[in-house]
């Protein structure tokens, strides 16, 4: 994988708010990642289990053995080339949408960041707190700076919950789903192969449908930024 190859994907991210790159991880690498997750202790409160969804918040902290498998030399090269030299992890989540899942996600933007405490600060809010985890909507420039990498452990298409996105919506600021004008906007289904990745700006409007063909969908979601937060506020999951 070369810088020249990645240039077209960099342009697509700027223009559309997302891109898909397949064959990033080998079959052996994906198997090792899946086995490591399978062995994790799921009793911690950051592990969420239901019939429709298994999820792990603060994933790289809760399953530290997976970090070197996920953040391999290829991914590090892609981050430096596509994002910049100074980007670091600010959030990580693992999703497992089982074969029988009726879980769907309506169109939305990712508007919050994870931080270490709650502070009254101009431009930051509203706040939410779940199990001592603090999340806040920051000023727009902070959101515009973030990139998300979604690593797919399964083939994903419209039949097992692939993301639906509105191309170009990342460039329109805060864009409420109820304001989507489908006479102007288009919808694109982001099919990603097992071992492939999707890179997305969090302000890109996105959602997903229910699984209809009995195939599971496992995704590792990692967000990156190179911005320091103001005053005493810190990224709660910061990882270089």
Q: What is the pLDDT of residue 72?
A: 94
Q: Which percentage of the chain shows pLDDT scores above 90?
A: 74
Contact call for residues 78 and 9 (beta carbons, < 8 A): no
pLDDT in tens, 79-104: 999 999 999 999 999 988 776 666 67
What local confidence, expressed as pLDDT, does residue 96 receive?
85
Q: Where are the domains of the chain?
A: 3-225
The number of residues in the chain equals 240
Of residues 104 and 58, which shows the higher confidence score? 58
Measured over the CA atoms of residue 178, residue 183, residue 210 and residue 43, the dihedral's sign is negative
Distance CA 1, CA 78 (A): 9
Least confident span in 108-117, 135-144, 206-215: 206-215
What CA–CA distances, in Å, run from 221 to 50, 55, 85, 110, 150? 19, 11, 20, 12, 5
Average pLDDT over residues 166-175: 96
Write down the pLDDT at residue 104.
79
CATH superfamily of 3-225: q2cbj1_9rhob like domain (2.60.120.620)
At 51 the pLDDT is 55
In this predicted structure, the answer to whether residue 47 has a pLDDT above a threshold of 70 is: no
């Amino acid at each position: 994988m070369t810088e020249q190859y990645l240039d077209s994907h960099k342009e697509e991210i700027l223009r559309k708010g997302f891109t898909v790159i397949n064959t990033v991880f080998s079959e052996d690498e994906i198997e090792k990642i899946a086995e490591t997750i399978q062995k994790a202790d799921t009793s911690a409160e950051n592990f969420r289990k239901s019939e429709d969804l298994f999820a792990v918040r603060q994933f790289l902290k809760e399953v530290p053995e997976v970090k070197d498998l996920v953040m391999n030399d290829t991914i590090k090269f892609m981050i430096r080339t596509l994002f910049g030299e100074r980007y670091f992890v600010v959030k990580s989540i693992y999703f497992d949408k089982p074969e029988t899942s009726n879980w769907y996600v309506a169109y939305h933007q990712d508007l919050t960041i994870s931080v270490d405490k709650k502070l009254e600060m101009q431009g930051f809010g509203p706040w939410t707190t779940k199990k001592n985890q603090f999340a806040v909507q920051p000023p727009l420039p902070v959101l515009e700076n973030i990139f998300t990498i979604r690593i797919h452990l399964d083939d994903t298409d419209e039949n097992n919950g692939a993301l639906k996105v509105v191309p170009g919506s990342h460039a329109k600021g805060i864009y409420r789903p109820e304001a989507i004008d489908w006479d102007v906007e288009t919808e694109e289904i982001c099919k990603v192969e097992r071992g492939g990745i999707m890179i997305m700006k969090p302000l890109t409007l996105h959602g997903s449908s229910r699984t209809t063909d009995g195939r599971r969908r496992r995704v590792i979601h990692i967000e990156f930024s190179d911005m320091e937060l103001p005053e005493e506020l810190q990224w709660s999951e910061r990882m270089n």
